[in-house]
Structure 1
Amino acid sequence: MTASATSTSSAQSAAARSATGAQLSFDMAAALVAASDRWSDACFATGPAEREAAEAGILGCYAAAGLPGPGRIIWMPSPAHGTIAALLGSQQSLVSLENGDASHLVAETRELLGDATVGKSVRSSLRDKPWEAARAAAVSALGPQRWAHAWSLTGGRLWQPVSNLVSQIRRAIGELVPEEDETTRRLLREATLDAVLGHQEAAWLAVFDGLTSAAADTHSTTWPDGLASLATVARSAGWWWPFDNLAIVCERPTELHRDELSRLHRGDGPALAYPGGFGLHAWSGMPVPKDFITTLVNVTPERIRHEDNAELRRVMLEHYGFDRYLADTGAKPVQRDETGVLWRVHMDGDEPIVMVEVINSTPEPDGTSRRYWLRVPPGTTTAREGVAWTFGVDPDDYTPLKQT
């Protein structure tokens, strides 16, 4: 056992002893939550990569795996460029990509890559094996229940938003070529799966950051063997591809816009943008065409009604405002009771818009009463039923003393 591995085992054992029963101690749980917050910041960070630190981390990853360093480290503007570089360096043909809308990405990548060839991928040695060993050691030290609790406070908090973001990036890269070109799409998809995700590895790095911090009450304690250098790269750069001849590394995004649920979201430009022109447009996490986003500022009820794509129509409605749409289309109330007014608007080829108009019983400072619109399920038949649904109770059990 190496000195690093011995130190790791001692740190994890100390962390385990600080927990009682099947639960983590308060201090350990706090350290894990703090680590999750740090890695959330790292994962969604934008701006230029810290290239010197990232390259040092990459060399450290090769050394930890017992491999000679790559002959070259080549930087790419985005994951799309990196994916293309990995394929070009493997001598793969990308004719349809070069002749299509993404031809500029291929040209930029060729210029940066030159005549370099990548050799064999060493991702498994640098990323997968250290993770598997560190996880097994942590489960052994903590026990399955405490490990599950530790994961829930770190990776469990980050996994969904991060995996959704990664999936959308991979999908967008695959869609750089027409759907009928299944061969090139498969090559692009496989190349994205060969990447180490850099700052988007945050979910699982957070748990080891928290455990080592809790063990020594310091953020400078020794990481599990092989993970320290991976964490250095993750704090400093985006996706990267380790090969035996060279490493391909990508910049972080220049822009990343999210909604309150951490989904990609922006109504006046790309929700995710990288140097070199690659990016994603999205509304509430749903990918949308670039030209669609640019026209949202001028959306009208007529355009909403005539949009054939139901998902895009819903985006338009959210942007326009459901209450505004009801008012501007001359919608009529279908039912009212002491809880509010029920409104319904038929939508061709889609479920109806059903909303409850309610009035805040607490007056505003100027004495007026503010109106709110609550969207409710399409099968709702009464205002009471709709309001009760927003509170998660049965209509017969909904008897508020006061509505605010």
Structure 2
Amino acid sequence: MSAPGGLEARSPELLREEWLGHALSTAPADRPAAENAVARLYAATGRPPPRFVWVDSPLAATKVLPTSKVTRIDRSWQTVGAQIAALLSRLRHPPRRGDWKGDPPRTTLHRVIRDGLVPAINSTMPASPGIGWAGQHDADWLAELRAPRDPLAGAWATLGRSTGWWWPREDVCVLAERPVELHVDENSLPHNDNGPAITFADGSHAHLWHGRPVPRWVVEEPDLVRIMTERRSDVKLCAAERLGWAGYVEQAGPPLLGTAPDPGNPGCELRLYALWEGVNLLAVVNGSAERDGTRRRYWLPVSRWVRDPLSAAASTYGLNASQYAQLRRRT
């Protein structure tokens, strides 16, 4: 017997693509399917189907959920949310060693969802709505659901395919529509150069830079002063990249730690700059010329512990300096 969603019969690659498609979907929710799935979960706790309330976004959900549930998670294990969570815990078993060959579906999905979409959407809400699930953004663990004989597994898979985030309460279940816009980069990471990467029908939105949640100014108004005063290193990196590393180096004038001939590119130079705590910046010249004969310069953040250009360049290949020094010209 195969698992819901065809887990047992599909390759990791096919599963990853299927569930990535659900995670990034901006189609309207399939409300009848989602409501039927929720009703099955309520029935498993001995409760009748709840009243369903649909909202445009997770932010809108915080305005209709009971205040007590918005400000804290009820610790009673008799609540419907806690009982549904207990039922779910029986389904979520990690794959056995050897079940996946190559990259498991969850690796890519985790980067897109848990590192990007979930924290970004959480940032749109003033407070936690309490216990709930993420529908399409539970795709990372749904892709590895291993409980083919559990009748509720199909309900969870349906929710991942049919709706956005949702929150069960005793007599009511609040469900959010999926976003109406979601932009991604070439690696399918949530990203937009010019505005919000994710937008809901009510206008609530979040900015992401190559999968990293960032404040609006990073994308729309990057400037040196804000970069220099930002305390979070990951946000500083995103903002400097958005501004352009060449422009940042010209404006900020970071200390030059050293230069060295690039053994992989005869006639070209490696340059290593000190940025801020934990990060240095390596400037390298592409080994291949552009069509007009020029060579593009690349800027690579590296660990602050790497203090010379040759070691910094080697670290980007997983090599040490002596190994990198023996590289032939790159083409």
The alignment's TM-score, normalised by the length of structure 1, stands at 0.64
For residue 378 of structure 1, report the CA deviation from its aligned partner: 4.2
C-alpha distance in 2 between matches for 1:231 and 1:151 = 23
Corresponding residue for 1:229?
Answer: 155
What amino acid is the match of 1:201?
A: D
Counterpart AA for 2:172? L
Letter in 2 for 1:356: A
Among 60, 74, 77, the residue aligned to 2:56: 77
Counterpart residue type for residue 132 of structure 1:
S
1:111-260 alignment, distance < 5 Å: 121-129=79-87, 131-135=88-92, 144-145=96-97, 149=100, 153-164=104-115, 165-173=117-125, 176=126, 188-189=127-128, 191-192=129-130, 194-208=131-145, 224-259=150-185
**Over aligned residues, Cα RMSD in angstroms?**
3.8
Unaligned residue ranges in structure 1 (runs of 5+): 1-9, 16-26, 95-119, 177-187, 213-222
Partner of 2:261: 337
For 2:122 and 2:253, locate their aligned partners in 1 and report how far apart those are by CA, in whole Å. Answer: 43
Query: Does structure 1 retain, via aligned residues, the 8 Å contact 2:120–2:208?
Result: no
C-alpha distance in 2, partners of 1:81/1:38?
A: 28
What is the identity, as a one-letter code, of the residue corresponding to 1:288? V
CA change 1:286–1:159 in 2 (3 A) is closer
Query: Match for 1:322: what amino acid?
Result: W
Residue 337 (structure 1) shift: 1.8
Distance 2:160 2:92 in 1: 18
Q: Distance in 1 between matches of 2:330 and 2:207?
A: 38
Whether the 8 Å CA contact 2:196–2:208 is kept in 1: the answer is yes
* Alignment partners' CA distance in 2, 1:91 and 1:359: 55
Opposite residue 40 of structure 1, the aligned amino acid is L
Confirm or deny: 8 A CA contact 2:166 2:176 kept in the other structure: yes
1:51 aligns with 2:31: yes
Matched, 1:315 2:294: no
Q: Structure 1 residues 151 and 346, CA, compared in 2 at 3 Å: closer, same or farther?
A: closer
CA distance in 1, matches of 2:206, 2:306: 36
State the AA in 1 paired with 2:64. Answer: A
Deviation at 1:250, TM superposition (A): 0.7
- 1:38 deviates by 1.0
Q: Distance in 1 between matches of 2:114 and 2:191?
A: 16
Change (3 A) 1:248 1:332: closer
In structure 1, C-alpha distance between the alignment counterparts of 2:277 and 2:59, rounded to whole Å: 35
How far is the alpha carbon of 1:238 from its aligned partner? Answer: 0.8
Structure 1 segments of 4+ aligned residues over 6 angstroms from their partners: 91-94, 328-333
Does structure 2 retain, via aligned residues, the 8 Å contact 1:256–1:273? Answer: yes
State the AA in 2 paired with 1:37.
E
Q: CA deviation at 1:283?
A: 2.7
Q: Cα offset for 1:383?
A: 3.9
Matched residues in 1 for 2:53 and 2:250: separation? Answer: 56
- Structure 1 residue 353: deviation in Å? 5.0
Q: 1:307/1:38 Cα in 2 relative to 1: closer, same or farther (>3 Å)? A: same
Unaligned runs of 5+ in 2: 73-77
Deviates further, 57-66 or 314-323: 57-66
Q: Distance in 2 between matches of 1:93 and 1:364?
A: 56
Alpha carbons of structure 1 residues 248 and 388: separation in structure 2 relative to 1, 3 Å:
same
- Paired with 2:255 and 2:190, the residues of 1 have a C-alpha distance of 34
Residue number in structure 2 paired with 1:3: none
Which letter does structure 2 place at the counterpart of 1:241?
A: W
C-alpha contact (below 8 Å) 1:134/1:225 kept by paired residues: no
- Residue aligning to 1:384: 310
How far residue 74 of structure 1 moved from its aligned partner, in angstroms, is 0.8
Counterpart of 1:97 in structure 2 is: none
Alignment CA distance shift 1:288-1:58 (3 Å) = same
Letter in 1 for 2:196: P
In 1, Cα distance between equivalents of 2:2 and 2:273: 61
AA aligned to 2:207 is H
Q: Which has the higher helix share?
A: 1
Q: How far apart are the structure 2 equivalents of 1:401 and 1:91? A: 62
Identify the residue that residue 296 of structure 2 maps to in structure 1.
Answer: 371
Distance 1:34 1:239 in 2: 24
Cα shift at 1:132: 3.1
Q: TM-score, normalising length from structure 2?
A: 0.77
Kindly provide the CA deviation profile for residues 105-133 of structure 1, in whole angstroms up to 9, marking residues without a partner as x.
xxxxxxxxxxxxxxx8412444541x333
Higher relative contact order (CA 8 A, sep 6+): 1
Counterpart residue number, 2:216: 290
User: What letter is aligned with 1:266?
Assistant: N
Structure 1 counterpart of 2:66? 87
CA contact (8 A) 2:163 2:175 kept: yes
Do the aligned partners of 2:219 and 2:242 also contact (CA within 8 Å) in 1?
Answer: no
| Structure with the largest fraction of strand | 2
Give the distance between the partners of 1:331 and 1:63, measured in 2 at CA: 62
User: Cα–Cα, structure 1 residues 150 and 65, in superposed 2: closer, same or farther, change >3 Å?
Assistant: farther
User: Contact 2:272/2:308 (CA < 8 Å) preserved in 1?
Assistant: no
Distance in 2, Cα, partners of 1:377 & 1:331: 15
The percent of aligned pairs where both chains have the same amino acid is: 25
